[in-house]
Amino acid sequence: MFDNGRWLQRALSGAMLVAALAVVLIAGRIVFDRDEADPTPPRGPDAPPAMPLGIADVDYPTPLPTALPAQQKPPVDWVRPTADPDAIAAALDAPVVNAPGAGAVYRAIDPLTILPARSRSEIITYRVKPDDTLGSIAQQFGLQESTLIWSNDRFYVNAMRIGMEMTILPVDGVYHQVDEPTSIASLAEMYDVDPYAIIDSEYNNLFGATPNVTLPEGLRVVVPGGTGSTEPIYWDPGIVITSTDGSNPVGTGVNPGATRASFAVGDPGSCGEQAVVGGSPPVSAPIYANYRITQDFNWTHGGIDLAVPPGTPVFAAGGGTVIFKGWSTWGYGYTVVIAHGGTLSVYGHLNGDFVSCGQTVTAGQNIAVSGNSGRSSGPHLHFEIRGPGGAPANPWDFQSF
């Protein structure tokens, strides 16, 4: 027989058990969620240091390039010209003629005609400027120094005064002035060239002539490739050396107290005529410091150029008397000249001097400092030795450098 009271009691007990289990599950979920949200347990004073959290690498997608907007070309507002159909047909029917020896016809793509470089085709006159030298002028016009010498008065070429006019040839050679009637053959022999080098030159207007044609007096003729005289040339500002009896001394010996000398009388630095006292041969070095020989003694250069910095001490090469000190209008700038009897020593392109006119100096005395005055291409000392006649003597004959 069914007992209603007992069944009801069992049902209530089961419901209470289910409710208790639900409470336990809900509590556990709450604890689990809290632990998952904060997995780091509380740390005490002895707990090990916390490690940094790792960050997982994420492969981000690479963005695709953005396509540039298409460029819209402006509308064409002109119509391409078209040849007449009959002209096109005639051109296509015409035969193609190749150049002699050519196997193909090439299209000319150069729109311009480039002319080749041409040399000067005429003789010109050049006026000497303050910084000009024989070498710088020759380099400027692509000529040899000898061409300038053989095309102008040798005396004035050496003087090279500012404002002097020089004849400049378009080619290397000789510019000859006929002093008396002479044949082309004789002129060619004089300068060691073929007669037709003169006849065929575009500068002489002698086309069609023969070697036996006589050239008139006064005619100027270009001799391309000609070789002139190589006798020494030098600037002579006026050098006078006399003995007490009025005669010119012979040789380069020194005769103290018996000689008078002058150098470039009328120039700003000239001391006039001076009695030579205490002379000795110029055998000592004019520069004790290190130097470099930039130009040696030769037929076109009457001294030796010793390159040194400006302000380098310059010394007397021998004992003697100062006969020039100051500015030279002959291109040497500040200059000192010492008379050693029948011989002179010249010191050019100075920056200053420590002597006076008529002063007696001894060998090795500091007389000046080097510079770059006058017509000079760079700081150096131009050192010359002149003989009794005023002609340059080779400094190597007096001392070694």
Averaged confidence pLDDT in the chain? 78
- All CATH 2.70.70.10 domain ranges of the chain, comma separated, are 239-397
Name the nearest CA neighbour of 147 among 165, 126, 168, 130. 168
Name the pLDDT band for 26 (thresholds 50, 70, 90): low
Name the pLDDT band for 50 (thresholds 50, 70, 90): very low
Pick the residue with more confidence: 251 or 186? 186
Name the pLDDT band for 346 (thresholds 50, 70, 90): very high
Identify the architecture of domain 239-397 in CATH: Distorted Sandwich (2.70)
Helix, strand, or coil (residue 380): strand
Answer whether residue 7 shows pLDDT above 80: no
Report the distance separating Cα 164 and Cα 129, nearest Å: 8
- DSSP state string for 310-361: TT-EEE-SS-EEEEEEEEETTTTEEEEEEE-SS-EEEEEEEEEE---TT-EE
Report the distance separating Cα 128 and Cα 358, nearest Å: 33
Q: Does residue 376 contact residue 133 with C-beta atoms inside 8 Å? A: yes
Q: Taking residues 311-336, report their average pLDDT.
A: 94
Q: Taking residues 60-72, report their average pLDDT.
A: 49
Pick the residue with more confidence: 160 or 223? 223
Name the pLDDT band for 86 (thresholds 50, 70, 90): confident
Q: Taking residues 148-172, report their average pLDDT.
A: 86
Q: Taking residues 168-186, report their average pLDDT.
A: 95
DSSP bridge partners of 127: 165
- Buried b vs exposed e over 2-33: b needs ≥16 C-beta within 10 Å? eeeeeeeeeeeeeeeeeeeeeeeeeeeeeeee
Q: What angle do CA 98, 104, 109 make, to 5 degrees?
A: 95
Answer whether residue 120 shows pLDDT above 80: no
Helix, strand, or coil (residue 365): coil
The answer to whether the Cα torsion of 346, 352, 358, 360 is positive or negative is negative
Q: Taking residues 21-47, report their average pLDDT.
A: 49
Report the distance separating Cα 249 and Cα 342, nearest Å: 6
- What CATH number does domain 124-224 carry, 3.40.920.10, 3.10.350.10, 1.20.120.790, 3.40.250.10? 3.10.350.10
Pick the residue with more confidence: 284 or 12? 284
DSSP bridge partners of 353: 368
- All CATH 3.10.350.10 domain ranges of the chain, comma separated, are 124-224
Residue in the block written with tokens 């960050």: 55
DSSP bridge partners of 24: none
pLDDT tens digit sequence for 286-305: 999 999 999 899 888 889 99
Helix, strand, or coil (residue 173): strand
Q: Virtual CA dihedral for 303, 308, 310, 314, nearest 10 degrees?
A: -60
Q: Which amino acid is at 60?
A: Y
pTM for the model stands at 0.58
DSSP bridge partners of 339: 321, 344
Which positions ≥6 away from 250 have C-beta within 8 Å?
Answer: 342, 388
